[in-house]
Amino acid sequence: MITRKLGESVTWLAAVDWERKLFDELIPLPEGTSYNSYVVRGGGKTALVDTSDPSFTAPWLDELDKAGVKSLDYVVANHAEQDHSGSLPAVLARFPASRLVTTPKGKDMLPDLLDLPADRIVTVGDGETLALGGKTLKFIHFPWVHWPETMLTFLEEERILFPCDLFGSHLATGAARAEDDPRWMEAERRYYAEIMMPFRKMIAGGLSKVRALNPALIAPSHGPAIGNPASIMDAYADWTSDRVENRAVIAYVSMHDSTRLMVRHLEGALSSRGVRVDVFRLAGGDIGKLAALLIDAATVVIGTPTVLGGAHPAAAYAAMLANLIRPKARFAAVVGSFGWGGKAAEQLVGLMPALKVEVAGTVMAKGLPREKDFAALDALAATIAEKHKGL
């Protein structure tokens, strides 16, 4: 646990999880993570913004005691997901006079996820405020960042924004500010790609509400506090835009070298035509890095051998991942090899319906790629490069 003061009335409690390496049994955490909560003290009342992951409930409650929190009037749940709400039953039991503040959708969801008494929950509307005595919390509904019930909380007098998952980063650090850790922006980019990118249209539409608040400090529920809010808001504005770069990401797996030879040839053919290429080996690869690579790429290429008539499971996983996180790519292609038959290329294209991309082409070699296959890869590279000219 790390506890710090943020401004005159806010105490930041960070449960820093240095050892966690996987989130939701899916997302790699090479830099760990943290679960942040914030105590806001007014002249007459005290509020707690978000809680902690259940794995940290006991030390987190101890830290509340050490921070001198003797009573709570309100517990704000910006988001119902358990890494932020999981300690709610314990904190409501510890402070029986407190009321849980959330959105109407949050009130519907929280009792389903946790053992919470419905009569302790009060709802707030978009733009509604809560007076603490000289300190005012304003609530901004922001659904689908990244669940339907989410909201942001803003401390008006000190201009501190508590956005829960929005603008967060999976980064275990002792830094007092995000800008003090050189890993921070790359961690932000990965976090956006893994969690927020499927909702980029909704986020893009709501960023103006955040800018209008003109926050002086952003205090998310994962990762360090952000002392330069414009830096992350500008990054999100770019990531959520429709702008793509003259880049192709090739994610591939190869069993007996044929697909690898094809990928290397395609990489060179694209590069010689002015297309920047990122090659990602799927076997043993960090899918968080792949997700981050996909943020701005105009073209996604998946390379696969054929296994029992279909795509290699690692290639199918990559296609399903791309379909899940929905990058703004405009084109896709499949390359690979087969022994006696199969429909690996058709299968992979079928696994990515949510991308709504134009398929620039497929090249599947029978066995070891030969001159005609390399010529087909050159033609595919020429097609992709031509399509990129209109970006």
Q: Tell me if 389 is assigned to some domain.
A: no
Contact 170, 191 (CB under 8 A): yes
DSSP-derived 3-state class of residue 203: helix
Using the 3D structure, point to which of 184, 217, 239 is the last residue of a domain. Answer: 239
Determine the Cα–Cα distance for residues 262 and 378; give it in Å rounded to an integer.
Answer: 10
The answer on 147 and 293 residing in a single domain is no
pLDDT of residue 17: 96
Structure tokens at 190: 């990965």
Q: What is the residue whose two structure tokens read 């987190």? A: 60
Using the 3D structure, point to which of 239, 269, 288 is the last residue of a domain. Answer: 239
Q: What is the residue whose two structure tokens read 């058709």? A: 346
DSSP-derived 3-state class of residue 187: helix
The answer on 16 and 143 residing in a single domain is yes
What residues in the chain have per-residue pLDDT under 70? Answer: none
Question: Backbone phi, then psi, for 44, in 5-degree steps?
Answer: -130, -20
The answer on 63 and 183 residing in a single domain is yes
Contact 307, 339 (CB under 8 A): no
The answer on 221 and 286 residing in a single domain is no
- Which tens digits make up the pLDDT trace of 257-268? 999 999 999 999
As for how many domains the chain has, the answer is 2
The answer on 286 and 187 residing in a single domain is no
Contact 183, 153 (CB under 8 A): no
Determine the Cα–Cα distance for residues 223 and 167; give it in Å rounded to an integer.
Answer: 9
The answer on 349 and 255 residing in a single domain is yes
Domain span at residue 81 reads 2-239
pLDDT of residue 26: 87
Whole-structure pTM value: 0.94
Residue 336 buriedness (CB in 10 A; 0-12 / 13-18 / 19+): buried
pLDDT of residue 89: 96
Query: Residue 284 sits in a domain of what CATH number?
Result: 3.40.50.360
**Sign, Cα dihedral of 58, 60, 63, 69:** negative
- Which tens digits make up the pLDDT trace of 34-76? 999 999 999 999 999 999 999 999 999 999 999 999 999 999 9
Structure tokens at 100: 């849980």
Residue 85 CA, chain-centre distance (Å), reads 18
- In single-letter form, the type of residue at position 266 comes to L
The answer on 117 and 261 residing in a single domain is no
The span from the first CA to the last CA of the chain, in angstroms, equals 47
DSSP state of 172: -
Element (H, E) at 246: strand 245-252
Q: Tell me if 369 is assigned to some domain.
A: yes
**Neighbour count for residue 237 (Cβ, 10 Å):** 16
The answer on 228 and 371 residing in a single domain is no
The answer on 305 and 226 residing in a single domain is no
Determine the Cα–Cα distance for residues 338 and 354; give it in Å rounded to an integer.
Answer: 27
Contact 263, 381 (CB under 8 A): no
Determine the Cα–Cα distance for residues 314 and 320; give it in Å rounded to an integer.
Answer: 10
Q: Tell me if 390 is assigned to some domain.
A: no
The answer on 284 and 206 residing in a single domain is no
The answer on 304 and 207 residing in a single domain is no
The answer on 85 and 227 residing in a single domain is yes
